[in-house]
Amino acid sequence: MTTGLPDAEGTLHELIERMRPAVAYDAAFVGIYSGGAWLAERLAREIAGDHPLGFIDVSFYRDDYATTGLKGGTKRSEIPFDVTGATIVLIDDVLFTGRSVRAAINELFDFGRPASIELAVLIDRGGRELPIEATYAGARLAVARDQNVVLSRDAAGRLSLGIEPFRAS
Amino acid sequence: MPNRNPQLNADGALTHLLTLEGLPPAVIRQILDTAVPFVGIAEREVKKVPLLRGKAVFNLFFENSTRTRTTFEIAAKRLSADVINLNIGASSTSKGETLLDTVDNLVAMDADLFVVRHAQSGAPHLIASHLIAKGRTHVHVVNAGDGRHAHPTQGLLDLYTIRHYKGDFANLTVAVVGDVLHSRVARSLIHGLTTLGTAEVRVIGPRTLLPAHVESMGVQVYEDMRLGLANCDVVVMLRLQNERMKGALLPSAGEYFKHYGLTMDKLAAAKEDVIVMHPGPMNRGVEIDSAVADGARSVILPQVTFGIAVRMAVMSILAGA
């Protein structure tokens, strides 16, 4: 069932329009794997400026390691610029509890002390468990707690949104 | 299920690492894959991740080892664990306490993970079985070398190094050279290589330093080093332990070097892009010539660096199981 879900490409366009006038010319874009990484690449291409790209895998900083352990497929975080003093836009596909963002912020501070961190998300689905808000959101949706909103990318690079039964991730 | 592999829990997840023998290839690949992102941690301003924060890792070294103990300690500290090194020789075992009593006492001190090195083959297995029998499934054991049996994290870091430089194992010819008979490193590496489907694994050495039925491990045996090195992608030199020289197994260090010491001249028989590995500590001029050890084909120091990431991967997989 994908009824009620917005078109991902259209939502990305909305996000880009919101970020364009506001984002610092030299802000670094750091995408959270995997959906946020796809978005970061697109945003860096479409928003004018000098935006160094970085990618972050928050698996080593998650707060549910004690109950779920390490899942396979952890990627290496790649932050190829100096974090200390940098203006950073953290990018994720779906903002829900805020726990992944908390983990990503903690991880960024292990690379250095940024000047500021903003948060851009494609979908804000509510349901926060931490005091974390998006600076830029493509769309806001109400989704049942037992449902996951999932971003996919096809071979041509086109993004789409889907709904899956909830799994701890 | 008493016959279940004690290394795996009821869900088939790794809960103790005792040996690579009998481990499913998927579990070995999972460890190697998990080590990849850990290599990057060393390049950060803060060389730590919080995975094992609040966990206590006990290094139980009943046999001396500076390098292995140090790399386990660094790995545990980079995972934010508290690390306690026990100098067993100077502690209560010398007053007569049994191994399992020592373990029970440390569990009562809230140990989460034991890193065990022991001169007796099977000691880590004994500890793991004891913990399972007592229902202490949240306490994990890593074998850091037991007797002549196994040294699985060394085997894993060797596998990681080979995969890093050479990619898939299916097209590789790997030679393990020297004292295979006494080497738990060789045993673990050979099990790992065959499990991951290495095209050809060779052992090279004098018959006196090869186990009696070594062929049954799935290897080709060469007593002539030049023949054995022909077209190899990877050469793993084993340390010739000094104490072996005193027995009747070998004539002399000089004689050994002449036949089985790795020189640039002998290495020329291998492929041009061969990599040379050694688990350390090296005996220069006994099993390996300095020109090779310090040469362009040597990856001996990267092995040490990868070893930390591999041990981080193992501990974080176990502690999360």
Is the minimum CB–CB distance between B154 and chain A shorter than 8 Å? no
Alpha-carbon torsion A16, A22, A25, A31, what sign?
negative
pLDDT digits (tens, 9 = 90+) for B231-251: 999 999 999 877 666 666 777
B291: confidence class by pLDDT, cuts 50, 70, 90: very high
- Note whether B40 contacts A74, CB cutoff 8 Å: no
Per the confidence metrics, is the pTM higher than 0.90?
Answer: yes
Determine the distance in angstroms separating the CA of B197 from the nearest CA of chain A, rounded to an integer: 21
Cα A27 from Cα A20, distance rounded (Å): 12
pLDDT in tens, B264-279: 999 999 999 999 999 9
Beta-carbon pairs below 8 A across chains A and B: 55
Residue of B37, B48, B321 with shortest CB distance to A110: B48
CA distance B165 to B296: 13
pLDDT score for A71: 80
Query: Which pLDDT does position B245 carry in this prediction?
Result: 64
Instruction: Please list every residue in chain B whose beta carbon sits closer than 8 Å to the beta carbon of residue A112.
Output: 45
Say if residues A137 and A20 touch (Cβ distance below 8 Å).
Answer: no
Please report, rounded to a whole number, the percentage of residues in chain B having pLDDT higher than 70.
95
pLDDT in tens, B104-153: 999 999 999 999 999 899 999 999 999 999 999 999 999 999 998 999 99
Question: For the purposes of burial, counting CB atoms within 10 Å of the CB of B242, is it exposed (0-12), middle (13-18) or buried (19 or more)?
Answer: exposed
CA dist B107 and B139 (Å) reads: 8
pLDDT score of A1: 43
Residues of A in contact with B316 (CB under 8 A): 60, 70
Whether ipTM tops 0.90, in short, is no
Return d(Cα B9, Cα B126) in angstroms, integer.
Answer: 16
Please judge whether A76 and B320 are an interchain contact, meaning their C-beta atoms are less than 8 angstroms apart: no
Measured CA to CA, the distance from residue A163 to residue A144 in angstroms comes to 10
Q: Are B116 and B143 in contact (CB under 8 A)?
A: yes
Q: Does B45 touch chain A (CB under 8 A)?
A: yes
What's the one-letter identity of residue B168?
Answer: D
Region B280-302 average pLDDT: 95
Task: Answer yes or no: do A110 and B321 touch at CB < 8 A.
Answer: no
Residues of chain A contacting residue B39, judged by C-beta atoms under 8 Å apart:
76
Q: Is B236 helix (H, G, I), strand (E, B) or coil?
A: strand
Distance from CA of A104 to the nearest CA of B (A): 12
